[in-house]
Chains A and B, each alone.
Chain A
Amino acid sequence: MSEKILEVKNLKREFVMGEETVKALKGLSFTIHSGEFVTIMGHSGSGKTTLLNILGCLDRPTDGNYYLDGVNVEELDKNSLAELRNEKIGFVFQSYNLLPRTTALENVEMPMIYNKHIPSSERRDRALEALKTVNLLNRAHHMPNQLSGGQQQRVAIARALVSEPVIILADEATGNLDTRTSYEIISLMQDLNEKGKTIVFVTHEPDIAAFSQRTILLRDGLTQKDVINTEKRSAKKAIVSLPDPEKM
């Protein structure tokens, strides 16, 4: 099997709220290898976002270990965590989170400003390249409010890709989109995955999970199931089979 990108061991996260302690994660262990497309599923409140925040180095576990690309995240200070997020992780959010009144191109360029390994002269070309990957080159100079939800999410994916992270983390990235647009986004993810990108995709829609190779099912902060999906569907084919709204 290929190399380990991510490994968690007995991961716990507790939130102390006054007298009460909310145990959001109660000891998760799993490993994700390079080139995997993993969906994380579970009911609302099962700890998906909490897990993804920790995997994304935005939050720290209360207990347990987390290794990302061979680095023990526990040992890093705030600045190094920021660097790690910048260089190794690509985030895609449910609500897109593009900077308003800022062009798609500038939005995609933004994370590179904080990356000391990418010279400023390369930013523009790399951003255009990323926009090309998500098929939005013709919208490079549009503002977010001039783009549809699906297009905004594709800009966000371009932004996640542009620094060539080792892993892409998406939290309900299709949550705000209709089925067809969701499938388009998933199709994009599948393309990226085929080119070798490792993807962790949080969703609570089972049909989305069917497009991935592996599904981790959370329940009350524990892994209930960790299954390999032998019959991975192709999103492109799924789009074709969707009822055409114009014929309805």
Chain B
Amino acid sequence: MKIFDLLKISLKALKKSKLRTFLTMLGVIIGVAAVITMMAIGEGSKESIHTSLSGMGSNMINIMPVMNEPGSVRLQGSSMQTLKQEDADAIVNLNSPNIKGVSPIVSTSGQAINASNNWPTSLIGVSTDYLDIRQFKLKDGIVFSKEDVKSFTKVCLLGTTVVKNLFPDGQSPIGKIIRFNKIPFQVIGVLASKGQSNFGQDQDDVILAPYTTVQKRITATHYLQSIYVSAASEAQSDAATAEVKQVIRENHHLKASEDNDFDVRTQAELLSAIGSTTSMMTILLTAIAGISLFIGGIGIMNIMYTSVTERTREIGLRMSLGAKEKDILMQFLIEAVIISITGGVIGVVLGIASSKVVSIILHWPILISEMSILISFLVCGITGIFFGYYPAQKASRLDPIDALKYE
């Protein structure tokens, strides 16, 4: 008994009841298509979040002030005044090989004006390291120097959105004077466009200026809203974080028993946090889709049992003419596997098609991995064998005399 003969017998049996075979297959088709589509959506959004987050600088460490009075509410953000210039300096003075760049952050929002054009935007006071930390590139002009930072020079870099709104006629802003909250700044550079962040923010709607200038001319404070530090590499991120914590604690004269009065977050942490939620989503979606595949499998089992009962006489005849238990078992098993694998192939094609439709119509990011296709095929094969086995075994254990007498 060769596999080819078995295939021929099984295909013939399936062809005899085309509609029934198709309906049984439909369960598998829908299941597999659902699994492929759900995995494509899940993996796609995970991938897109990951790329946009690492675009923000995956080595970035963000230090923020935190109110830490015992018994008081823990507050966070710009109202806190625990981070100072000295903290940033202390980090710089570490000269640690784990740390590449340090930038104090002072930001404020307001109205930017150029002649008759005005535009509400935010002004971020930064140091020269900021561009590298955030992976901003310069499209035009130059970056302000360390000298400019020291001497509170009123110079700035514009994001492309700001350029578009303040210079609608397309002339170069370099060298022009704009006003932000009435303070004049000379434009010395334009940032290359970064587009929307993953959270829908326009990253180009920004003006960068030396943080000292912003402190002195606009916010009139000497506190920092945060300090951005970039680790030399993603692997050194943890070491850099530890060093930063240590030095700021010393600077703030915190006792061992006291909690940090600041908060340190790394981009890597954020990445893995978001990564794990999206993984959870993928798992959840896939599990739901998997249930429909399982139901498809039960459909196969159901139809195989019916088929075995209907063909009891055929089984009896084949046995009395010399078919062994194994032959009958294989015959029905192959039938089940043909249904599930064919359903799987159609399901994969349908799943890929519907993933494309989702990405075209809903503009969702999708990612069809070879892995998901491979897994689907594997699961289909296993589904066929698993749900086909019991009916096939029932068939193979029939007694030929009884089976032949079956009405």
Contact = CB atoms under 8 A, between A and B. Distances in A.
Contact of B319 (A82, A99, A163): A82
Contacts of B320: 56, 58, 85, 91
Nearest to A109: B5
B404 A93 contact: yes
Interface stretch (B118-126, B141-149, B201-209, B310-318): B310-318
B322 A111 contact: yes
B401 A114 contact: no
B322 A85 contact: yes
B323 interface: yes
A19 B319 CA distance: 30
Nearest to B313: A97
What 7 pairs between A and B have smallest CB-CB spacing? Answer: A86-B322, A114-B322, A111-B321, A82-B324, A113-B5, A85-B322, A97-B317
A20 B206 CA distance: 98
A118 to B, nearest CB: 11
B321 A159 contact: yes
22 contacts: A53-B401, A56-B320, A58-B320, A58-B400, A79-B324, A79-B326, A82-B319, A82-B323, A82-B324, A83-B324, A85-B321, A91-B320, A93-B404, A102-B12, A110-B318, A113-B5, A114-B318, A114-B321, A114-B327, A116-B1, A120-B2, A120-B4
A53 B320 CA distance: 10
Interface residues of A, number: 26
Interface string A73-89: 00000110011011100
Contact of A114 (B1, B4, B313, B404): B1
B2 A114 contact: no
B325 interface: yes
Interface of B: 1-2, 4-5, 9, 12, 16, 313-314, 317-327, 400-401, 404
A229 interface: no
Contact of B16 (A58, A86, A101): A101
Contacts of B16: 101
Interface in A40-72: 53, 56, 58-59
A99 B320 CA distance: 13
Contacts of B318: 110, 114
Nearest to B325: A78
Contacts of B401: 53, 58-59
A95 to B, nearest CB: 9
A85 B5 CA distance: 20
B314 A99 contact: yes
Contacts of A53: 401
Contacts of A59: 401
A76 B334 CA distance: 28
A110 B5 CA distance: 10
Given A59-B401, A120-B2, A114 B324 contact: yes
Determine which residue in B2, B16, B322, B325 has the highest number of CB atoms from chain A within 10 A of its CB, and name it.
Answer: B322
Contacts of A101: 16
A97 B320 CA distance: 11
A115 B5 CA distance: 12
A115 B314 contact: no
**Which of B4, B319, B320 lies at the interface centre, i.e. has the most chain A CB atoms within 10 A of its CB?**
B320
A96 to B, nearest CB: 10
Contacts of A102: 12
A18 to B, nearest CB: 17
A97 B4 CA distance: 24
A86 B321 contact: yes
B325 A110 contact: no
Q: Which of A78, A83, A99 gathers most chain B CB within 10 Å?
A: A99
**Among B2, B5, B313, B325: residue with most chain A CB under 10 A:** B5
Given A97-B313, A99-B314, A101-B16, A110 B321 contact: yes
A111 B317 CA distance: 10
